[in-house]
Amino acid sequence: MLKILEDKIATPLGPLWILCDELFNLRAVEWEEHSDRMEQLLDIHYRVEGYQRVAASNPGGLSQKMRDYFDGDLAIINTLPSATAGTPFQREVWQILRTIPCGQVMHYGQLADMLGRPGAARAVGAANGSNPISVVVPCHRVIGRNGTMTGYAGGVQRKEWLLRHEGYLLL
């Protein structure tokens, strides 16, 4: 059975859950108001092998590192380890998301091209929307082809805040 250590931190955008395994690999990062989504993803990914959620204070230093990100140490999220479940295609998309530099964005078509699957922008969008590790796997850095702030599971206002925080959007 997988033991998932969990903590919740305060951020400028509201409470944020941080869940990791015993090796301190992130398994989920989600806004408190979307806890139901997080629990659905945990069930989808780990129900078969079984998992147990256990409260922990700053597991592996991850909670403090997330606080540091919100305090301005933007590069720290690049150092955080993750171990996500999901389909091979989803994991491939999530891996590419982590290569988008802070302060930059891509659109879904560009991600599909990077994966060698031109025309798969909708599939990329669906994988992006299933990302269990908000902020760290920076799905907020993906925008519409025309520059619009397309959907973000945490809400478009959070997406805009994160992009301003990272220097893409100016005040």
Same domain, yes or no: 22 and 50: yes
Q: Within a domain: residue 114?
A: yes
Domain range for residue 141?
88-165
Residues 125 and 160 in one domain: yes
> How confident is the model over 40-47, as a mean pLDDT?
91
14 and 75 belong to one structural domain: yes
Q: Which of 128, 119, 117 is nearest to 150 (CA)?
A: 128
What mean pLDDT is predicted for residues 51-59?
97
Q: What is the pLDDT of residues 103-136, one digit of tens each?
A: 999 999 999 999 999 989 899 999 988 999 999 9
Instruction: Report the C-alpha gap between 38 and 81 in whole angstroms.
Output: 18
Q: DSSP 3-state assignment of 71?
A: coil
Q: Are residues 161 and 97 in the same domain?
A: yes
Domain-ending residue, one of 60, 79, 98: 79
Per-residue pLDDT, averaged over 68-89, amounts to: 95
pLDDT of residue 149: 83
Tell me, what's the pLDDT at 136? 97
Report field, pTM of the whole predicted structure over 0.85: yes
Is residue 171 very low, low, confident or very high in pLDDT (cuts 50, 70, 90)?
low
Provide the CATH number for the domain around residue 137: 1.10.10.10
Percent of residues, the chain, with pLDDT higher than 90: 80
pLDDT score of 13:
96
Question: What letter represents residue 113's amino acid?
Answer: D
Segment 139-167, tens digit of pLDDT:
999 998 888 887 777 888 999 999 999 99
In a domain, 23, yes or no: yes
Say which residue, 65 or 143, is predicted with more confidence: 65
Same domain, 20 and 69: yes
> Taking residues 31-45, what's their average pLDDT?
92
170 within a domain of the structure (yes/no): no
Q: Which of 163, 78, 28, 122 is nearest to 111 (CA)?
A: 122
58, 79, 100 - which closes a domain: 79
Q: CB of 133 within 8 A of CB of 94?
A: yes
Crossing angle of helices 121-129 and 88-97, in 10° steps, is 80
98 and 35 inside one domain: no
Element (H, E) at 16: strand 16-20
> What is the average pLDDT value for the chain, to the nearest integer?
93
**Whether 109 and 72 share a structural domain:** no
Number of domains the chain is built from? 2
Catalytic (active-site) positions: 139
The per-residue pLDDT for 75 is 95
Q: Are residues 101 and 49 in the same domain?
A: no
Same-domain pairing of 16 and 74:
yes
Write the DSSP assignment of 95-114 as a string of letters. HHHTTSPTT--EEHHHHHHH
Same-domain check for residues 70 and 123:
no
Q: Is the pLDDT reported for residue 170 higher than 80?
A: no
Measured from the Cβ of residue 30, the count of other Cβ atoms closer than 10 Å reads 26
pLDDT attached to residue 152: 78
Together in a domain, 55 and 111: no
